[in-house]
Amino acid sequence: MDYAAANVSERRFLPPRVAVSTVAFALRPPAEGANPHPSESEPHNITLWLPLVRRTRDPFRGQWALPGGPLTWNESLSDTSRRTLADTTGASPRYLEQLYAFGEPERSASDQRLVTIAYWALLTNDEIAGDTGVQTVSEPAAAQRSSGQLGNGQLSNVAWFSADSLPDLAFDHADIVNYALWRLRNKTEYSTVAYRFLGESFTLAQLRVVYEAVLGKQSDPANFRRQALASGHLRETGRVETGVGYRPAKLYSFSDVDHAASDTRRSS
Amino acid sequence: MDYAAANVSERRFLPPRVAVSTVAFALRPPAEGANPHPSESEPHNITLWLPLVRRTRDPFRGQWALPGGPLTWNESLSDTSRRTLADTTGASPRYLEQLYAFGEPERSASDQRLVTIAYWALLTNDEIAGDTGVQTVSEPAAAQRSSGQLGNGQLSNVAWFSADSLPDLAFDHADIVNYALWRLRNKTEYSTVAYRFLGESFTLAQLRVVYEAVLGKQSDPANFRRQALASGHLRETGRVETGVGYRPAKLYSFSDVDHAASDTRRSS
DNA sequence: GCAAAAGTGTTCCTGTTACACCCATGG
DNA sequence: CCATGGGTGTAACAGGAACACTTTTGC
């Protein structure tokens, strides 16, 4: 049962491998030094980031790829997504949703066909593992250069990238990321997914910043407030923010009335 | 490589099988004899139907299941969906979209794990194969009774069922059908999928009947007309319907401006 | 002309957008 | 009291729902 040793001519006799890959989004300020004087057209210092893993074996050895791995015999698809994401990046998302199954015959470029079931996840800042062993880079070249040797001498094949400037990805993972981005933005417009970027309590301004970062456009604070409150998914905590030099805002929490499994849509 | 012979204790050493199943919807008048005097609350004689296949092997031998089959080595996922649907039911849908990948470890109840990638399809009346060899039944009991022996003496393991009254299905196929129904109705509300139930040209009244059948509620003809025309997806053919005893309606055709791959959404 | 459905006009209502304005707090 | 963002009010606008009404055909 050593399928890996088979050559290409045996592809037709091998069963497809099944793997799970995950696009895990987090919100972060852009890399230090970049954009020191934000213009009016780009008012927010927050962008989408995601972790990638450098492949250590063929095919696509050395290229960046989505975190993931093969399905194991007793694990559900979503469990495989969670496990492989946690093992490689340390992240443990509360929000996880199946994205799509990719199964074109030639997508693996190896001796065995590969069917990948992609998931996407949203991470709050405290669902991201501590910085030990994981680095953050702003552009592919920097990642290529610095990957491997960390400051403390450890090796790491994981790095976070801005979703705007990804390196060349293995397999069709660039398509997967683009689709996940599309789905995140689409769902942000009609559902409350974006709330999952925030922690237990947050102000309406923080929530609005999330929406503006994901959708890439500004919202009127007054109207945003009304629509958010009208959605019925916000509960006042009774607390207010502290440490600001102006009127402190109320802190809200997300009340997930219907805790049914999260859902999907697409349009056009 | 004879995986089928392995026993249950070897599950953990076997790679998962990958299969594709398809929920293929069509619109049909309800079975003859049923509801001879439609009431006001149920004004339309049109309901959703879908083909099922009786399993001839374990697991779930003898139970009804969605048409489908294993992925073959050089076929895309959607090609497998089309091929297995055509082979068993004769139907060739123009509209086909991936639904979801189902992969719980225990969903197959056999010696080998089964990952099923489900598709859903919409069929116009002329995309459904001729009636030869395929029967239509209105309730599970009738199907169970009549399945097998057809009028002309042929055997058939395929039958069409009303989506409202399905028999017990193999695997988790009942979940798959319910999810496909949910997706069809959801997408009907914000996209033009429902147009795919109709042929080359159709009247606005016919289109409205499709919407009413899928969504299960009536629409105001005047408002429906305006919204349909405002969508920009209708093109006048210049022809009108014939054979009616009143003012004939204009015939329209569906103009698919952006012929990009169809998309998905879900809500809440 | 009559019945029936096609097709048009109009009003009401609701939710969104734009923007003026007041409120509460730290310094 | 001033600056700053939190929070409220409101008028204009757009799209949908309800329904009255006119038009066109076969008989």
pLDDT for res B40: 39
DSSP at B9: G
Query: For residue B10, which residues of chain A lie inside 8 Å, CB to CB?
Result: none
Residue B121 CA: distances (Å) to CA of A116, A161, A265, B49, B157: 22, 38, 16, 12, 20
Angle between helices A221-230 and A204-215 (to 10 degrees): 100
pLDDT for res A33: 46
CA distance B132 to A2: 46
More confident residue, B184 or B128: B184
Per the CB < 8 Å rule, is B101 touching A98?
yes
Digit-coded pLDDT (tens) for B195-226? 999 999 999 999 999 999 999 999 999 999 99
CA distance A169 to A190: 30
Inform me whether the pLDDT recorded for B130 exceeds 90: no
End-to-end CA distance of chain A: 44
Q: Which CATH superfamily is domain A8-136+155-187 in?
A: Nucleoside Triphosphate Pyrophosphohydrolase (3.90.79.10)
Per the CB < 8 Å rule, is B73 touching A13?
yes
CA distance A256 to A242: 26
Contacts of B244 (CB under 8 A, 6+ apart): none
Inform me whether the pLDDT recorded for B241 exceeds 80: yes
The CATH label, of 1.10.10.10, 1.10.3210.10, 3.30.930.10, 1.10.357.10, for the domain at A201-254 is 1.10.10.10
Q: Is the peptide bond preceding residue A59 cis, with omega within 30 degrees of 0? A: yes
pLDDT for res B44: 56
B37 beta carbon to strand C: under 7 Å = no
B268, A190 Cβ separation under 8 angstroms: no
Inform me whether the pLDDT recorded for B143 exceeds 80: no
β-bridge partners, A65: A53
pLDDT beneath 70: ranges in chain A = 1-10, 30-44, 130-155, 257-268
pLDDT grade for B264, boundaries at 50, 70 and 90? low
A138, A34 Cβ separation under 8 angstroms: yes
More confident residue, A39 or B256: B256
User: In this complex, which residue's CA is closest to the C1' atom of nucleotide C23?
Assistant: A247
B232 beta carbon to strand D: under 7 Å = no
More confident residue, A32 or B61: B61
Q: Does A114 touch chain B (CB under 8 A)?
A: no
State the span(s) of chain B assigned CATH 1.10.10.10: 201-254
Closest to A200 measured CA to CA, from A254, A249, A158: A254
- Best of A12, A18, A82 to disrupt the B interface (most B CBs within 10 Å) is A18
Inform me whether the pLDDT recorded for B105 exceeds 80: yes
Phi, psi of A65 (to 5 degrees): -145, 165
Instruction: Match 């250590």 to its residue by tokens.
Output: A56
Contacts of A79 (CB under 8 A, 6+ apart): none
Q: How far is B160 from chain A (nearest CA, A)?
A: 28
Per the CB < 8 Å rule, is B267 touching A191?
yes
Digit-coded pLDDT (tens) for B63-99? 999 999 999 989 999 999 999 999 999 999 999 999 9
pLDDT grade for B1, boundaries at 50, 70 and 90? very low
User: In this complex, which residue's CA is closest to the C1' atom of nucleotide D27?
Assistant: B245
pLDDT for res B42: 46
End-to-end CA distance of chain B: 44
State the span(s) of chain B assigned CATH 3.90.79.10: 8-136+155-187
More confident residue, B233 or B1: B233
- Which SS3 state, helix, strand or coil, does residue B88 take? helix
A248 beta carbon to strand C: under 7 Å = yes
Closest to B68 measured CA to CA, from B231, B180, B155, B197: B180
CA distance A192 to A153: 42
CA distance A173 to A54: 13
Please provide the size of chain A in residues. 268
How many Å from the CA of B36 to C1' of C8? Answer: 35
Instruction: Match 């994401």 to its residue by tokens.
Output: A85
pLDDT for res B235: 96
